[in-house]
Structure 1
Amino acid sequence: MKLPILFSAICLAIFIGLLQGSHYFYVANADTEMGIYMTAVLVILMWMSLFGVFISLAFPKLRKVFKGVF
C-alpha cells in the first residue's frame, strides 16, 4: 500500500509544479506557435498527473476487480 501512496504523492507534486510553471511558460513563450503547442502539452501533462493521483490511489482495488474478472 505504500507504493501507490508514494506514486500519488509524486504525481501531486508534479501537478502542483506544473500548475505554477505552465503559466510562466505561457507568458514567456506564447508569442510563437511552437510555444502555444508546448504550453498545451504542459497543460495536458499537468492534468494527466492529477488523474494519476486518483488512479494510483485506486489501483489496489482496481487490480483486485480486474483479477476477479479476467
Structure 2
Amino acid sequence: MPPQQVEELLQVLSKGIRATQLYLPNNPVYQRAVDNIRASFRQIWQATDDLVFDVGETELRWEDNVVYNQEQRTESIA
C-alpha cells in the first residue's frame, strides 16, 4: 500500500473530526464527513488488517514515512 493512501486517510480523518466538532449530527456536512471517513477506512482495510504509527509531537509516521504533519499542536491529531 502506498504511503499516499495512508496520508489521504489521515487528511480525511482530520477534516472529519473538525466537522463533527462544528456541526450537529443531523447536518449534511457532518454526515458527509462521517461517510468520507468510513469510505477511506474501507479502502485501507481492504489493503491491510492493521495500521501501526509512530507518534511524534506534530507528526505521524507509517513504515518510516511521514504521513501526517501539523506544526500547530492545537490543530494536530498526533
TM-score by length of 2: 0.47
Paired residue for 1:2?
3
Paired residue for 1:67?
none
- Superposed displacement of residue 50, structure 1: 1.7
Q: Is the 8 A contact 1:5 1:56 kept in 2?
A: no
Note the 1:1-70 alignment, pairs <5 A. 1-23=2-24, 39=27, 41-60=28-47
Instruction: Give the SS at the match of 2:4.
Output: helix
Q: Tell me which protein shows more strand as a share of its residues.
A: 2
Between the two proteins, the alignment pairs up a number of residues equal to 47
The residue identity in structure 2 corresponding to 1:51 is: R
Aligned-residue Cα RMSD (Å) equals 2.4
Q: Tell me which protein shows more helix as a share of its residues.
A: 1
Structure 1: distance between partners of 2:33 and 2:43: 15
Runs of 4+ residues over 4 Å off in structure 1: none
